[in-house]
Amino acid sequence: MSDGHVTLSGELKEWLLNDPFPRLLGVEIVELEPGYSRVRLKVTEQMTNIHGITHGGVIFTVADVAFGIASNSRGVPAVGINMNISYLKKSVPGDELVATAREENLTRHTGLYRITVENQRGELLAVASGLVYRQNQQKET
């Protein structure tokens, strides 16, 4: 997880890894650096809509998880205040969703992130952007 970037403290990583909802769904963190994260989720039959394709809420959720991890990876508590997504291509059960969140802009009180969701073949399924409000103090670790 290092590849030239500043590494996160063990306690901060542990805090980010123990988010209950992503754990319930089976979302895995693949990469984690300050201002950046990549996560993945295997799509099951239970994650489909009435058309038999991956439910948009599942794709949004995996994007949101990557966004939340990236925005909190500097140790300053951050909460989402806006997120939008565009769905570009369908996904089906058996696909692996890979969401990557990158910090685009960071100020004292806000952070802007661009999130992409691809399948295991690298095909772009969705693009999103998210804005967070950052609290003044660092997370106690």
Per the CATH hierarchy, to which homologous superfamily does domain 10-134 belong?
Answer: Hotdog Thioesterase (3.10.129.10)
Query: Residue 1: what pLDDT?
Result: 32
Q: How far apart are CA 132 and CA 106, in angstroms?
A: 10
The amino acid that residue 60 corresponds to is F
Quick check: 137 pLDDT over 60?
A: yes
Confidence tier at 36 by pLDDT (50, 70, 90): very high
Confidence tier at 39 by pLDDT (50, 70, 90): very high
- Taking alpha carbons only, the member of 49, 26, 48 closest to residue 39 is 26
Query: Residue 40: what pLDDT?
Result: 97
pTM metric for this prediction:
0.88
Query: Residue 80: what pLDDT?
Result: 97
Q: For the segment 19-28, what is each residue's pLDDT rounded down to a tens digit?
A: 888 888 999 9
CA distances from 121 to 57, 79, 124 (A): 21, 31, 9
Q: How far apart are CA 133 and CA 78, in angstroms?
A: 5
124, 97 in Cβ contact below 8 A?
no
Quick check: 139 pLDDT over 60?
A: no
Query: Residue 19: what pLDDT?
Result: 83
Quick check: 45 pLDDT over 50?
A: yes
Quick check: 29 pLDDT over 70?
A: yes
Confidence tier at 16 by pLDDT (50, 70, 90): confident
**To the nearest whole number, what is the mean pLDDT of the chain?**
90
70, 36 in Cβ contact below 8 A?
yes
